[in-house]
Structure 1
Amino acid sequence: MKKTLKLALVAATLATSSIGWAQDGKAALVKQLIDLQRPGIEVLARSLVEDSSAPIAQAGSGYLQSQVPAEKREAAAKAADAELKKYFDEAYPILRDKAMALAPTTLGPVMTENFSEDELRQLIAWLSSPLRKKYDELNPKMGEALTKQLVAETKPTIEPKLRALDASVAKALGAPTSAPAGAQGKAPAAAPAKAPAKK
């Protein structure tokens, strides 16, 4: 009886230690997977910073085109771009570093609960593979091709809707709705806001 009890205790101890080892192994895989996600996390941080400043850039661009005398626009645009870049250069590292610090405690549990060790290994192999890198390189080109074709084929349908929207919003705001001379038949074109320089 004592022998059986000892064997049961040894078996339980081994089982517990192997579970701990398995969890440690899984934790190491999760950490590796999060490290591989760094480029995507950096893109997320960059997008958040750019999105947060986009309304200011757009409003500034509109003001620049409508309120600043033509001879002063270039200097004003450069000064505004410098401020946008300064904001980006200060805000991006903060968001990037915080995102990387939060990733283990936010992404880690989701990965641990939803992926087996074997699945984590497969993900790591895929993310590390030359095929994935090639796909990532081609993905913007594919997106650009689709966007170009989509815009070309929907432009005749969308432009009248944009003109109607422009007139409706102007009317709702009590702004003049008549288009300037020479602008009839053209979709409203907002001056594009310059994105901050990317590092």
Structure 2
Amino acid sequence: MKKLATMIAALAIGGTVHAAPVPAAKQELVNRVLQLWHPESIGESMLQAPVGDAVQQARAVLQGRVSPEKRDAALKEIVADARQFMDQNKPLAQASAQKLVGTTVAPLLAERFTDDELRQIITILESPVKKKFEAMVPELQKKLGEGVAADTRAVMDPKLQELQQRIGMRLRSAVTP
């Protein structure tokens, strides 16, 4: 009955169901992959991108147009608004992804991977080495970022300042009557 409901739901959202019902053992493997992978985080990522872009655009617009004190105060408020927006809307995006994963991602996993391949994916996702590496990624990114910044600062800072000035001039000419 649940498989029939899944097929009907897939048809209702515009999908087509071509595959035969997934055997229970394979569906359990697919479910385990989904549990370990956390695809609901995709909804949050999709929400973060435009919010981050909006904050970056605001920062660019304010740069050079207002005093540093006003700029910093405005950015502080903008960032607070962005965080509040994320806090309020993240649950909706995550719930939507969670709701749709069974009719979008799960059938693809079942169709394109064998039982043995799904077991291998599970082994990878459960790997203590993978978890250790993922826990270390922020530190690795920070160290690399610091190194790149130090290595390129002398060359990049003047170029970035020039770019910011050009953008500021373009913004001023665009908004000046």
Answer yes or no: same fold by TM over 0.5. Answer: yes
Structure 1 residues 167 and 77: CA distance shift in structure 2, 3 A: closer
TM-score, scaled relative to structure 1: 0.60
- Using a 3 Å threshold, how does the CA distance of structure 1 residues 69 and 99 change in structure 2: closer, same or farther? same
Q: Which residue of the partner structure matches residue 46 of structure 2? A: 48
Where structure 2 has 5 or more consecutive residues not aligned to the other structure, the ranges are 1-19
Q: Distance in 2 between matches of 1:86 and 1:30?
A: 35
Determine the structure 2 residue equivalent to 1:103: 101
- 1:138 is aligned to 136
How do 1:1-199 and structure 2 match up within 5 A?
A: 23-38=23-38, 41-42=40-41, 44-61=42-59, 63=62, 66-67=65-66, 70=69, 74=73, 80-171=78-169, 173=170, 175=172
Q: Which residue of 2 aligns with 1:3?
A: none
The letter for the 2-side match of 1:41 is E
> CA RMSD of the aligned region, Å?
3.4
Query: How far apart are the structure 2 equivalents of 1:79 and 1:174?
Result: 22
Deviations 1:40-73 (A, max 9, x none): 532x3333323222243345555498547948x7
**Deviation readout 1:111-144 (Å, 9 max, x if unpaired):** 2233211111121122123222212111221222
Pair member with larger Rg:
1
Over 3 Å counting, the alpha-carbon distance change for 1:88 and 1:65 in structure 2 is farther
Name the amino acid aligned to 1:23: P
- Aligned residue in 2 for 1:4: none
Which runs of 4 or more aligned residues in structure 1 lie more than 6 Å from their structure 2 counterparts after TM superposition?
Answer: none
Q: State the alpha-carbon separation in 2 of the partners of residues 134 and 54 from structure 1.
A: 28
Distance 1:117 1:36 in 2: 16
* Equivalent pairs, count: 153
